[in-house]
Amino acid sequence: MSDDFDAVLAAVGPRLRELRRRRGATLTALSETTGIPISTLSRLESGHRKPGLELLLPLARAYQVPVDELIGAPADLDPRIHPQPFTHNGMTVVPLTRKPGGLQAFKHILPAGMTDGREPDPRSHEGYHWLYVLRGRLRVILGDKDFILTEGEVAEFDTHLPHWFGNADEHPVEFLSILGPQGERVHIKASYRPDNPHP
């Protein structure tokens, strides 16, 4: 039992680090939001500080997630996801997967008017990205390419290449994305069914 408990505690730090990075937050910003010193947050994420409720409760409030999500408590048999949307650079992001790490799915909503005075700022990072436009027109800058994805179009690329997304016009845009932080690509499995199933 003690080994299981230690394993749960050991997994909290990497989970918190991944959650913070996924939200695009810095340790400084998180410290200001939670009142937890930067050094404590750093030690917590690196596993050098054991997580207690006095740390987990303000972090859960800051991330707007239940405490059990921070500690990786076993989920019940209900498979439904209860997304907690957050805003990043004016864009609403809705997480569609339950746990940090591995492939992550998101719905992004760019409101109308996001083109006003917004200069593209391409960034690169670890991973592999897949995009699918649900509604509107999405401007994508990928390296030295500048193009527009329309409803139903799909794109995928290595995120080491500098990239940026934005509204292609004054209308809102909604798109889905799947990000593999370690560079996992999205694979679709299909089985072959011959006309005659009994050779």
Residue 11 confidence (pLDDT): 79
Cα distances (Å, whole numbers) of residue 4 to 1, 24, 75, 131: 5, 31, 16, 38
Reported as a single tens digit per residue, the pLDDT across 81-101 is 777 788 887 889 888 887 655
Looking at residue 115, its pLDDT comes to 63
pLDDT of residue 148: 96
Kindly tell me the sign of the dihedral angle through the C-alpha atoms of 47, 33, 75, 127: negative
Bridge partners (DSSP) listed for residue 105: 178
- The confidence score (pLDDT) of residue 10 equals 76
Question: Residue 189's pLDDT is what?
Answer: 40
Report, as ranges of residue numbers, the positions in the chain whose pLDDT lies below 50.
Answer: 1, 183-194, 196-199
Q: Is the pTM of this model over 0.85?
A: no
The domains located in the chain, with CATH, are 1-71 (1.10.260.40), 86-180 (2.60.120.10)
Evaluate whether 35 touches 60 at the Cβ level (below 8 Å).
no
Predicted pLDDT at 187: 43
179 membership: H or E segment, kind and range: strand 173-180
Q: Name the residue with tokens 């591995």.
A: 102
